[in-house]
Amino acid sequence: MLANDDYWAFAAWSALLALTSLISPVLPAGSVLTLVAGIAWIVVVGMALYRFRRKALWLLLGAPLALAWPSIFVLFMVACLRGDCI
C-alpha cells in the first residue's frame, strides 16, 4: 500500500510542476520560474521512472505542459547567442 501512495505523491508533484511551468510566464520573473519548474518536473519524472518503471510512464502526459515554455525560452536564448535576436 505504501508504494501506491508514493506513486500518487509523484503524480501530484508532477502535475503541480507541469501546471506551474505552464502558467508562470505571466508572472513577474516568470521565465526563471518556468525553467526551474521544467527542470524540477524532469527530475521528479526521472525519479518516478526509476522507482516505478512502466507505471510511471503515465507521468509523461504532463510533458507538453511542463516543457512548452522552457523549450521556447531555450530556443530564443540559442537564437540570441547566434545573433538572431528578435
Task: Provide the pLDDT for residue 49.
Answer: 93
Is 86 part of a structural domain of the chain? no
Could you tell me the pTM of the whole model?
Answer: 0.81
- 66 touches 18 (CB < 8 A): yes
What's the whole-number mean pLDDT along residues 65-79? 87
Number of independent structural domains in the chain: 1
- pLDDT tens-digit series, residues 17-63: 999 888 888 887 777 888 888 899 999 999 999 999 999 999 999 89
Tell me the pLDDT tens digit for each residue of 47-57. Answer: 999 999 999 99
Domain of 20 in residue numbering reads as 2-81
In a domain, 55, yes or no: yes
Cell matching residue 19: 501546471
